[in-house]
Structure 1
Amino acid sequence: MILRTLASLVLLALLGLNALLPSQPATERGPENRVRQDVETALVLGESLPPFELRDLEGRPFTRDDLAGQRVLLTFERSIDWCPFTKARLVGLRDAFAGTPDLRIVWVMSDAQIDARARIFVAELGLADRILFLADPKSSLIRELGLLKADPELIEVGVPHPTTLLLDRKGSIRFLDVRENFHYWLDPRALADGLAHIE
């Protein structure tokens, strides 16, 4: 417990320092309530995801059918190794939906972005207790959905544009947010509003 608290404090301190960097105004960083669709994708509200097979952190297969009958918060994200904004969003989602046990939170990343440091971060904060982490082999689902970041820097190979979906129990997409700029992310309160309309 002490280790988790310490890791959370270090993360918050790093985010505070990052907000002071001159590369972008601090007002353009952090959560926002505005829902975005900055990038054209293959995702359509009211439709289901195509069949897929991803892998959990132990290498076990996970398919679309494994989501059936559940309300699902599904995110496609960058890296929890080197991106402090993604780390902040991850911790924020866990905390915001701690009291919503019937919501399945699924976090998808390119398999190229899941390394030892990412696994340590997940373990130190106990994130896997609430969130299911999945690897997308060769970013195949990310590509199929039109989420792949074009012209990535070397460190970003295989990463998607940050994307958030809410799926109903039938697997239909009921909420969609796709962002080009990862410096600001969807406030969990906006997701809570969307979730309130899903049985």
Structure 2
Amino acid sequence: MSLQARLDAFKADFRSGKPPFNAPPEIHPVMERATAELIDGGAAARALKVGDRAPAFTLNDPDGKPISSADLLARGPLVISFYRGVWCPYCNMELQALEAARLAIETAGATLVAISPQKPANSRRSARENSLGFPILSDPGNEVAAAFGLRFALPDYLVELYKKLGNNLPLTNGDDSWTLPMPGRFAIGQDGNVLYAEVNPDYTKRPEPEDLLPALRAGVAQPA
């Protein structure tokens, strides 16, 4: 089953309110309103695109070790997935799909990482629960996400809904900004330029991991 088919099936079950979700029906219009406002506001147009220069960064892995994009790119191209957090089932399914594609990504010469605003302990939990063989780097305040054009502030009505649902982002992320990254996936060439970019303000829509492989292989074939 494709990643998007899995996401669609989960969304249908979640919206139905059947066990184990038991989601109250009134939450869905609120979430859909926030997504529609991101789309209508042109949020995706502000994200990095193919050919843009990717920002350099250094972030800590779950064990507190600093990992720099420069060091990663010295080995080969870099694939980055921006991950909202351990609480997001759509993101977790994407991480699982990326893990399934990791061998193909690494065979193409690239390194795979995810970037999340959550604290390292939550990244360790994400990696454990999703059986990941690649790291989730912590991006406090979504600063790197902002450099990629992905950071957005949750509207007040969505903050209130998250609080009612027990989704305490300040506790999960360790900051009070109530910001998240839009889901985004990028492949970056060794020259630092973006080879592939897929950003969607609708967090229930994710590209297939294999979609980036042609651009990645074409980039590898070019001289660094």
Note closer, same or farther for the CA distance 1:97–1:115 as it changes in structure 2 (3 Å cut). closer
Task: State the match for 2:12 in structure 1.
Answer: 19
Question: Partners in 1 of 2:110 and 2:151 — Cα distance?
Answer: 26
Contact kept? 1:38, 1:178, Cα under 8 Å = no
Match of 1:89, SS state, is: helix
1:115-194 alignment runs, 5 A limit: 116-127=121-132, 129=133, 131-152=134-155, 153-154=158-159, 155=167, 157-194=178-215
Question: Partners in 1 of 2:196 and 2:53 — Cα distance?
Answer: 12
Q: Which amino acid aligns with 1:78?
A: R
Question: Partners in 2 of 1:86 and 1:107 — Cα distance?
Answer: 10
Residues 1:72 and 2:78 aligned together:
yes
Match of 2:44, SS state, is: coil
* More helix as a share of residues: 2
TM-score by length of 1: 0.73
Match of 1:183, SS state, is: coil
Note closer, same or farther for the CA distance 1:17–1:75 as it changes in structure 2 (3 Å cut). closer
Q: Which amino acid aligns with 2:87?
A: W
Q: CA-to-partner distance for each residue in 1:124-168, whole Å, 9 max, x for gaps?
A: 4431x2x12111122212223321123254445232001111111
Q: Which amino acid aligns with 1:105?
A: L
Residue 44 of structure 1: CA displacement? 4.0
Note closer, same or farther for the CA distance 1:47–1:18 as it changes in structure 2 (3 Å cut). closer
Q: Which amino acid aligns with 2:44?
A: V
Larger radius of gyration: 2
Note closer, same or farther for the CA distance 1:143–1:17 as it changes in structure 2 (3 Å cut). closer
* More strand as a share of residues: 1
Contact kept? 1:73, 1:105, Cα under 8 Å = yes
Contact kept? 1:15, 1:84, Cα under 8 Å = no
Contact kept? 1:49, 1:64, Cα under 8 Å = no
Q: Which amino acid aligns with 1:174?
A: L
Task: State the match for 2:216 in structure 1.
Answer: 195
Note closer, same or farther for the CA distance 1:53–1:117 as it changes in structure 2 (3 Å cut). closer
Residue 51 of structure 1: CA displacement? 2.9
1:52-71 alignment runs, 5 A limit: 52-69=57-74, 70-71=76-77
Contact kept? 1:55, 1:137, Cα under 8 Å = no
Question: Partners in 1 of 2:7 and 2:56 — Cα distance?
Answer: 38
Note closer, same or farther for the CA distance 1:62–1:158 as it changes in structure 2 (3 Å cut). farther
Q: Which amino acid aligns with 2:195?
A: R
Match of 1:186, SS state, is: coil
Q: CA RMSD in A?
A: 2.7
Contact kept? 2:62, 2:123, Cα under 8 Å = no
Note closer, same or farther for the CA distance 1:125–1:82 as it changes in structure 2 (3 Å cut). closer
Residue 18 of structure 1: CA displacement? 4.6
Residues 1:103 and 2:110 aligned together:
yes
Identity of aligned residues (%): 24
